[in-house]
């Protein structure tokens, strides 16, 4: 007799995900038919509404979340033991969790009260490599290749990557201090999430999820569905799981992409595009897994590909833990069940008590939020019969009609007029596009296509640069717009 995957640490994500269905957020087994005959597609079928959400292991979501947290806290003075409940909680905000424990050279050493492991504040004191790292970063942001930078600075590639890793670690530390402040001081959380392939030309399957504050472009969180740890270490980590009906956290290297299940469409109306996306989604083996639309999949040569839903659920779980549950929450998503199902599952309590707004947003780059929109068309689309509101405006320079759509998924006030004006996803699109453009030669270097690990420190550096250094025409950085600081940081200040 098949049963639902067991709850883990308050996590239970296996239930009907149709908001409004009687079985929504309810994990009573008798309300579902559990289907596990097709091992490619273990799912439950809701006896009330017929929805068929795929099954996931709650414990593996939790394990994936620990991996994300371990990476984020790399560089912070915090417990680094992946088994410990204090993992990633820094001494800046959680002093009570640690004892001062002597010195290591000039650096203060600390001991975790929970697991007794010790660590030092790695980046306390001045950065002795400030000059060369500042030059290196300036060259990198100008678009020079690794080879060119190495020859300009007279260093070898190994030294280059050592610098990059140290810079990334400092950036994570600096960013963590601003993030803490951001989560504490904003009055309501407004968040926009988008995902895309990290290396679109490589077909290596690595998904990159970014969540940003949509008005300022302050990037709050980003993760990739790829674990750079070597195979043996990761295998050990998953071996304690024995849930036969849930997908593994790591995509098997034998996993083959489906053939020809997605199609690219140009020159479609917004409505046709949304509809085509629903068709692509239904063509997947697992509706929550975008790898189901890949024509080809070249697994990374090192490290392991994570089954994207685990990263997505962990991404939103991580956000939830950082947000004050009493503050209002608004979330905009790109049209994608990978994100939607994760949000609905992780925020089931808020959805049940109507204390968050959740929307799909499809917004063209040129949309002007200060300009009014035309008449609103309401259309029901996809298997889910999602209710989309679509409107258009005329772009002033090109005289072109551009369309924007929103789909209100959950919450107390679904007024389409209001949301068409306010909901926005462009900031996060632009962030990802800017990263791809800035580091195109780095990302698409032939050897790197199968080795995404080298890009991960760059993501951490780029996020800190985006939030703290990059200015708009008025000289404002995203952190300034959010009231976190009064001036932009120079590269030198970022590294100090
Ligand atoms: Zn249902
Ligand atoms: Zn610990």
Q: What is the mean pLDDT of residues 400-411?
A: 95
**Residue 53 Cα, ligand 1 centroid: separation in angstroms?**
9
Q: Which ligand is nearest to the CA of 89?
A: 2
Rounded to the nearest angstrom, the distance between the alpha carbon of 117 and the centre of ligand 2 is 6
Q: Tell me, in angstroms, the distance from the centre of ligand 2 to residue 225's CA.
A: 25
Q: What's the confidence (pLDDT) of residue 40?
A: 67
Sketch the domain layout of the chain as residue ranges. 1-55, 76-122
Ligand nearest to the CA of 86: 2
- The whole-number pLDDT of residue 124 equals 79
CA of 314 to the centre of ligand 2 (A): 20
Per-residue confidence band for 236, with pLDDT thresholds at 50, 70 and 90: very low
CB atoms within 10 A of CB 413: 9
CA of 150 to the centre of ligand 2 (A): 39
Question: For residue 117, which ligand has an atom nearest its CA?
Answer: 2
Ligand nearest to the CA of 118: 2
pLDDT at 183: 96
Find the ligand nearest to 21 CA: 1
C-beta contacts of 386-394 below 8 A and 24+ residues apart: 386/360, 388/271, 388/274, 388/360, 389/416, 389/419, 389/420, 390/270, 390/271, 391/416, 391/420, 393/367, 393/368
Q: Mean of the pLDDT values across residues 456-466?
A: 97
How sure is the predictor about 253, in pLDDT bands with cuts at 50, 70 and 90?
confident
Taking residues 295-324, what's their average pLDDT? 94
Taking the alpha carbons at both ends of the chain, their separation in whole angstroms is 59
- Residue 238 to residue 236: CA distance in whole angstroms: 6
Whole-number Å distance, alpha carbon 108 to ligand 2 midpoint, is 17
Given this model, what pLDDT does residue 89 score? 92
Distance CA 276, CA 265 (A): 8
- Minimum mean pLDDT range among 31-45, 106-120, 222-236, 343-357: 222-236
Please tell me the distance from the alpha carbon of residue 477 to that of residue 218, in angstroms, as a whole number.
8
pLDDT-derived band of residue 264, with 50, 70 and 90 as boundaries?
A: low
Which range (111-115, 241-245, 443-447, 480-484) has the least confidence? 241-245
Indicate which ligand has the atom closest to the C-alpha of 33: 1
Nearest CA to 388 out of 425, 361, 363 is that of 361
Which residues, other chains included, contact 436 with Cβ-Cβ below 8 Å and sequence gap of 6+?
200, 443
Question: Where does the pLDDT of residue 145 fall: very low under 50, low under 70, confident under 90, or very high at 90 and above?
Answer: confident
> Looking at residues 206-226, what average pLDDT do you find?
98
pLDDT > 60? residue 262: no
Q: Say which ligand is closest to the CA of 25.
A: 1
What is the arithmetic mean of pLDDT over 84-91? 92
Q: Which ligand is nearest to the CA of 49?
A: 1
Going from the Cα of 152 to the center of ligand 1, the distance in angstroms, rounded, reads 61
Nearest ligand, CA 78? 2
Predicted confidence at residue 10, as pLDDT, reads 87
Q: Please give the C-alpha separations between residue 232 and each of 181, 227, 235, 488, in angstroms, as whole numbers.
A: 38, 12, 5, 43
Residue 134 Rama label (left phi>0; alpha psi -120 to 50; beta): alpha
Model confidence at 197, pLDDT cuts 50, 70, 90, reads: very high
Query: Ligand 2 mean position to 43 CA, how many Å?
Result: 36
Other Cβ atoms less than 10 A from the Cβ of 388: the count is: 23
Average pLDDT for the chain: 91
Q: Which ligand number lies closest to the CA of residue 87?
A: 2
Cα–ligand 1 centroid distance for 389 (angstroms): 24
pLDDT classification of 153: cutoffs 50, 70, 90: very high
Ligand that comes closest to the CA of residue 31: 1
> What is the Å distance from ligand 2's center to 95 Cα?
13
Closest listed ligand to the CA of 114: 2
* Confidence (pLDDT) at 235: 52
Buried b (16+ CB within 10 A) or exposed e, 448-460: bbebbbbbbbbbb
Distances (CA, A) of 243 to 11, 12, 43, 246: 15, 14, 13, 6
**Closest ligand by atom to 48 CA:** 1
Q: What is the mean pLDDT of residues 5-18?
A: 93
The residue ranking higher by pLDDT, 446 or 432, is 432
Ligand 2 centroid from CA 114, angstroms: 5
- How far away, in angstroms, is 47 Cα from ligand 1 center? 7
CA of 430 from ligand 1 middle (Å) equals 36
- Indicate the pLDDT class of residue 106, thresholds 50, 70 and 90: confident
Q: Could you tell me the pLDDT band of residue 485, with boundaries at 50, 70 and 90?
A: very high
% of the chain at pLDDT higher than 70: 95
Mode of pairing for the β-strands spanning 43-46 and 118-120: unpaired
Please identify every residue whose CB atom is under 5 Å from ligand 1, which is an ion: 16, 18, 21, 23, 46, 48-49, 51
Angle CA 112–114–120, to nearest 5: 10
Q: For residue 11, report the distance from its CA to the centre of ligand 2, in Å.
A: 22
Expressed in angstroms and rounded, the spacing between residue 305 Cα and the centre of ligand 2 is: 27
Checking if the pLDDT of 260 tops 60, the result is no
CA dist., res. 341 & res. 268, Å (int): 27
Work out the burial of residue 446: count CB atoms within 10 Å of its CB; fewer than 13 is exposed, 13-18 middle, 19 or more buried. Answer: exposed
**What is the CA(44)–ligand 1 centre distance, in A?**
10
pLDDT classification of 42: cutoffs 50, 70, 90? confident
Whether the predicted pLDDT of 233 surpasses 70:
no
Distance CA 52, CA 16 (A): 8
Ligand 1 centroid, distance to 62 Cα (angstroms): 25
Which ligand lies nearest the alpha carbon of 50? 1
Distance 97 CA to ligand 2 centre (A): 8
pLDDT for residue 261 is more than 60: no
pLDDT of amino acid 339: 98
Mean pLDDT of 67-95: 91
Residues with a beta carbon under 5 angstroms from ion ligand 2: 79, 81, 84, 86, 112, 114-115
């Amino acid at each position: 007799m098949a049963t639902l995957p067991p709850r883990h640490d308050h996590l239970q994500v296996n239930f009907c995900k149709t908001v409004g269905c009687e079985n929504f957020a309810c994990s009573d087994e008798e309300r579902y038919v559990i289907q596990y005959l097709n091992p490619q597609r273990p799912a439950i079928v809701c006896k009330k509404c017929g929805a068929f959400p795929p099954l996931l292991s709650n414990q593996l979501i939790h394990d994936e979340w620990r991996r994300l947290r371990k990476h984020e806290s790399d560089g912070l003075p915090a417990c680094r033991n992946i088994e410990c409940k204090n993992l990633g909680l820094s001494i800046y905000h959680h002093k009570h969790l640690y004892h001062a424990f002597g010195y290591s050279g000039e650096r203060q050493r600390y001991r975790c009260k929970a697991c007794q492991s010790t660590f030092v504040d790695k980046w306390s004191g001045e950065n002795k490599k400030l000059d060369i790292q500042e030059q290196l970063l300036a060259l990198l942001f100008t678009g020079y290749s690794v080879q060119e930078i190495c020859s300009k600075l007279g260093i070898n590639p190994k030294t280059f990557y050592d610098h990059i890793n140290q810079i990334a670690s400092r950036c994570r530390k600096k960013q963590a201090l601003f993030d803490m402040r951001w989560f504490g001081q904003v009055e309501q959380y407004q968040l926009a999430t988008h995902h895309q392939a990290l290396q679109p030309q490589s077909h290596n399957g690595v998904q990159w999820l970014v969540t940003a504050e949509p008005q300022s472009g302050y990037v709050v969180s980003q993760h990739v569905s790829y674990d750079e740890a070597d195979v043996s270490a990761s295998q050990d980590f998953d071996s304690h799981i024995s849930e036969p009906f849930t997908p593994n956290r790591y995509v098997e290297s034998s996993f083959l992409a489906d053939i020809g299940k997605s199609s690219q469409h140009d020159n479609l109306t917004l409505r046709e595009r949304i509809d085509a996306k629903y068709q692509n989604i239904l063509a997947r083996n697992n509706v929550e897994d975008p790898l189901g639309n890949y024509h080809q999949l070249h697994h990374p040569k090192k490290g392991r590909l994570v089954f994207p839903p685990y990263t997505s659920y962990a991404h939103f779980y991580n956000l939830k833990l950082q947000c004050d549950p009493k503050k209002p929450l608004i979330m905009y998503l790109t049209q994608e069940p990978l994100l939607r199902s994760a949000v609905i599952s992780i925020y089931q309590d808020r959805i049940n008590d109507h204390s968050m707004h959740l929307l799909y947003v499809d917004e063209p780059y040129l949309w002007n939020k200060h300009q009014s929109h035309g008449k609103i068309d309401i259309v029901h689309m996809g298997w889910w019969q999602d209710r989309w509101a679509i409107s258009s405006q005329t772009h002033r320079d090109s005289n072109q009609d551009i369309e924007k759509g929103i789909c209100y998924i959950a919450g107390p006030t679904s007024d389409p007029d209001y949301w068409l004006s306010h909901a926005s996803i462009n900031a996060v699109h632009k962030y990802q596009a800017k990263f791809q453009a800035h580091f195109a030669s780095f990302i698409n270097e032939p050897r790197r296509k199968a080795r995404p690990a080298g890009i991960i420190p760059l993501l951490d550096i780029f996020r800190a640069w985006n939030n703290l250094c990059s200015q708009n025409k008025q000289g404002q950085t995203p952190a300034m717009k959010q009231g976190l600081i009064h001036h932009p940081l120079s590269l030198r200040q970022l590294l100090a």
